[in-house]
Amino acid sequence: MATKVQLAQRPEADELLGRSPLAALVGMLLDQQVPMEWAFTGPYTIAQRLGSDDLDAHEIAAYDPERFAALLSEKPAVHRYPGSMAKRVQQLCQYLVENYDGDAERVWKGVDSGKELFKRLNGLPGYGKQKAQIFVALLGKQYGIQPDGWREAAGAYGEQGSHRSVADITGPESLAKVRAFKQEMKSAAKNAR
């Protein structure tokens, strides 16, 4: 899966995201109610605090929940809500252990359609429709995982040349464009009320 990404905007965190399927899934899971860079730096921070250069689904799934929550709460916290996100990360890892033998890449490896890829991602704990669509787009646009129909499965996030989500971030300039798009959407939603 090794690829070059700039989601965290920190070389060491992006290096992990580029080579670790589990780190990418965890980063996407953390991407809510915090800046994208903070969310996608989370997997690197967790790995460092576990004394490792990667995340291991078996280790995280088996970790004492209180100790894992404390690990994510250390300053600087991995997320604005470290306790609840620690629980979600553990649930994701437990699901991966039970359904994919702890191998996050198996969620998409060998999938022959975008529809099936979306279905698998949408079935992950903490992944709803939007998060699953964004991750399908991220896999297709940046990781080269492009089963037939992946753009359709990703919905608007799969559009070529769009700047809607983390799937479109390839550096500081595209990050600014995605931020501007999100602000426009928030403003439009607010004005519609």
Q: Is 165 left (phi over 0), alpha (psi -120 to 50) or beta?
A: beta
Phi then psi for 123, rounded to 5 degrees?
-85, -10
- CA proximity to 10, closest of 22, 1, 23: 23
Are 64 and 122 part of one and the same domain?
Answer: no
- How many structural domains is the chain composed of? 2
Are 125 and 103 within one domain? Answer: no
Q: Do residues 131 and 63 both lie within one domain?
A: no
What band does 83 get if pLDDT is binned at 50, 70 and 90?
A: very high
What's this model's pTM, rounded to 2 decimal places?
0.94
Q: What is the pLDDT of residue 185?
A: 82
Indicate whether 163 and 121 sit together in one domain: yes
Judged against a pLDDT cut of 90, whether residue 87 lies above it is answered with yes
| pLDDT digit string, tens, across residues 130-145 | 999 999 999 999 999 9
| Residue 172 pLDDT | 87
Contact of 163 with 174, CB cutoff 8 Å? yes
Single out the residue in 73, 107, 141 at which a domain terminates.
Answer: 107
Phi, psi dihedrals of residue 148, rounded to the nearest 5°: -50, 130
On whether both 80 and 148 belong to a single domain, the answer is no
pLDDT of the residue at 2: 67
Cα 63-100-116 angle, rounded to 5 deg: 130
**Strand partners for 113:** 148
Asked if residues 149 and 115 have their Cβ atoms less than 8 Å apart, the reply is yes
Domain that holds residue 164: 113-192
Instruction: Please give the share of the chain, as a percent, with pLDDT higher than 90.
Output: 80
Cβ–Cβ < 8 Å for 178, 171: no
Domain shared by 83 and 147, yes or no: no
- Residue 188 confidence (pLDDT): 82
For range 60-71, the mean pLDDT: 97
Segment 109-136, tens digit of pLDDT? 989 999 999 999 999 999 999 999 999 9
CA angle 82, 6, 103 (to 5 degrees): 60
Do 97 and 175 lie in one domain? The reply is no
* Same domain flag for 123 and 69: no
Smallest CA-to-CA distance from 128 within 140, 119, 138, 137 is with 119
**Residue 171: band (very low, low, confident or very high) from pLDDT cuts 50, 70, 90:** confident
pLDDT at 190 over 90: no
Mean pLDDT of 69-84: 95
